């Protein structure tokens, strides 16, 4: 690599997101038929697109708050500049939901998500901009410091002189999925590309099957030898009149003793439908998305659908949320702020259950003194009422103490303990 090799070392054995796919290919020693599946084109497989959308949209829809630790609890840090960046507008062109949807989509497909941090002249963080993971390369300097190289053509050797394309570690927010080197996450699409290749081939088969009018592999036979011109005329005429869905099942008129025979097996014998159903369930398992969330209702019932939804929050979303929360603390907060401030997603709306479960939980909380009326009203999106901060005794539902709600100001100056 010339000058690059003397200044930097690749952070992994290979650069960029292709490392995961190359690694798995060498381990398996197999080749796949059809166009190779990559994180860039895998979303053409409907189930992969559904899984990525479920993860990205579910995570982006959750409220994200910057919290501050007070003497008697935690509170929303409204006055901190990062609060508005996380909750409302991370930059001039995107909302918080849009930014997180993009970056979680990158994280689910590529295993990495990157964002450039913009600072004011005073050194305050003022904006965060997403960066495409397929254009990023990571290098480790001889002293151990990581550098990020961003280019429209990641296959080209990085240019040391192009300083605008190089970013220091402290200029980048980097979220990683599962990985083995501590530098990059590995794309689940690259790791499971053989299974996804089969799904892609099944989709291609189905497309071709219906393009041929749901009658694949027809053979026209003639009792006599056809010349080149006659052969081309018959072939062109047949494709023009009988190829494609719009020409399916039209009456065929054959000339001079030409016969038609079905050459290949029907789709039902190839178990096309069973294959697509199996691959849908398998892809959902790869992304750890409940099958009913990608349209597979074969095993969903009224008795287990709610529990599957809770499992999605516990075992699928929760690890991603932890990755986000800790990356925010590491990359967007100063070292001196991490002791007091932290990011937190509000998953209440996804875990509360149905209306009956909500009412039982709220009533139990008020009866046992850990919810006030205003606590409940805030959780369900209603305004506070006067004297609604009273906490009641389980015995006779009288106020525990008139001083119960006087918890003092928190470090961020917020009076309301529920905020």
The maximal CA–CA distance of the chain, rounded, in angstroms, is: 105
Residue 312 has what DSSP assignment?
I
Global confidence as pTM: 0.71
What are the domain boundaries of the chain?
1-208+265-351, 218-262, 353-419
Per-residue pLDDT of the chain (419 residues; tens, 9 = 90+): 444 554 555 554 333 333 333 333 333 333 445 567 788 888 888 888 999 999 999 999 999 999 999 887 899 999 999 999 999 999 999 999 999 999 999 999 999 999 999 999 988 999 999 999 999 999 888 878 899 999 888 777 787 778 888 999 999 999 999 888 888 999 888 887 776 766 556 566 555 655 555 455 566 666 666 667 776 776 777 666 656 555 555 556 566 666 666 655 555 545 555 556 657 788 888 899 988 888 777 666 656 677 777 888 888 999 999 999 999 999 999 999 999 999 999 987 777 766 777 788 888 888 888 889 998 888 887 899 988 888 887 665 566 565 455 444 444 544 444 44
What whole-number distance in Å separates Cα of residue 343 and Cα of residue 326? 8
Q: How is 89-139 classified by DSSP, letter by letter?
A: -SSSS--HHHHHHHHHHHHHHHSEEEEEEEE-TTS-EEEEEEE-GGGEEEE
Angle at 90 between CA 88 and CA 91, to 5 degrees: 120
- Tell me whether residue 36 is exposed, middle or buried, using C-beta atoms within 10 angstroms of its C-beta: 0 to 12, 13 to 18, 19 or more: middle
List the one residue out of 38, 25, 12, 75 whose CA is nearest residue 407. Answer: 75
């Amino acid at each position: 690599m010339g000058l690059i090799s003397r200044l930097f070392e690749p952070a992994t054995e290979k650069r960029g997101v292709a490392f995961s796919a190359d690694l798995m290919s060498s381990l398996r020693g197999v080749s796949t038929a059809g166009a190779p599946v990559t994180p860039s084109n895998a979303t053409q497989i409907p189930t992969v697109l559904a899984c990525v959308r479920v993860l990205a949209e579910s995570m982006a829809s959750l409220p994200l708050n910057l919290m501050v630790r007070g003497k008697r609890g935690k509170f929303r840090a409204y006055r901190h500049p990062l609060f508005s960046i996380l909750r409302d507008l991370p930059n001039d062109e995107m909302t918080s939901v849009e930014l997180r949807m993009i970056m979680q989509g990158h994280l689910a497909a590529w295993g990495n998500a990157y964002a450039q941090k913009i600072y004011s002249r005073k050194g305050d963080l003022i904006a965060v901009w997403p960066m495409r993971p397929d254009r990023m390369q990571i290098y480790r300097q001889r002293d151990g410091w990581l550098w990020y190289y961003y280019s429209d053509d990641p296959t080209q050797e990085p240019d040391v002189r192009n300083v605008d394309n190089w970013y220091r570690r402290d200029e980048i927010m980097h979220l990683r999925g599962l990985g083995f080197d501590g530098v990059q996450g590995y794309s689940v699409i690259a790791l499971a590309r053989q299974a996804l290749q089969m799904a892609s081939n099944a989709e291609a088969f189905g497309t071709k099957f219906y393009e041929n009018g749901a009658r694949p592999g027809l053979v026209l036979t003639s009792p006599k030898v056809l010349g080149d011109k006659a052969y081309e005329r018959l072939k062109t005429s047949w494709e023009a009149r009988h190829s494609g869905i719009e020409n399916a099942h039209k009456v065929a008129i054959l000339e001079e003793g030409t016969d038609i025979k079905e050459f290949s097996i029907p789709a039902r014998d190839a178990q096309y439908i069973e294959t697509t159903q199996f691959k849908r369930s398998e892809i959902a398992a790869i992304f750890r998305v409940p099958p009913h969330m990608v349209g597979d209702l074969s095993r969903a019932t009224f008795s287990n659908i709610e529990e599957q939804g809770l499992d999605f929050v516990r075992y699928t979303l929760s690890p991603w949320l932890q990755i986000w929360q800790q990356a925010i603390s590491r990359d967007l907060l100063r070292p001196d702020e991490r002791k007091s401030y932290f990011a937190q997603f509000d998953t209440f709306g996804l875990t509360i259950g149905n209306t009956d479960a909500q009412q039982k939980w709220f009533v139990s909380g008020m009866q046992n003194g850990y919810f006030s009326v205003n606590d409940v009203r805030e959780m369900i999106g209603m305004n506070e009422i006067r004297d609604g901060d009273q906490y009641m005794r389980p015995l006779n539902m009288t106020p525990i103490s008139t001083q119960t709600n006087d918890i003092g100001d928190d470090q961020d100056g917020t009076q309301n303990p529920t905020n």
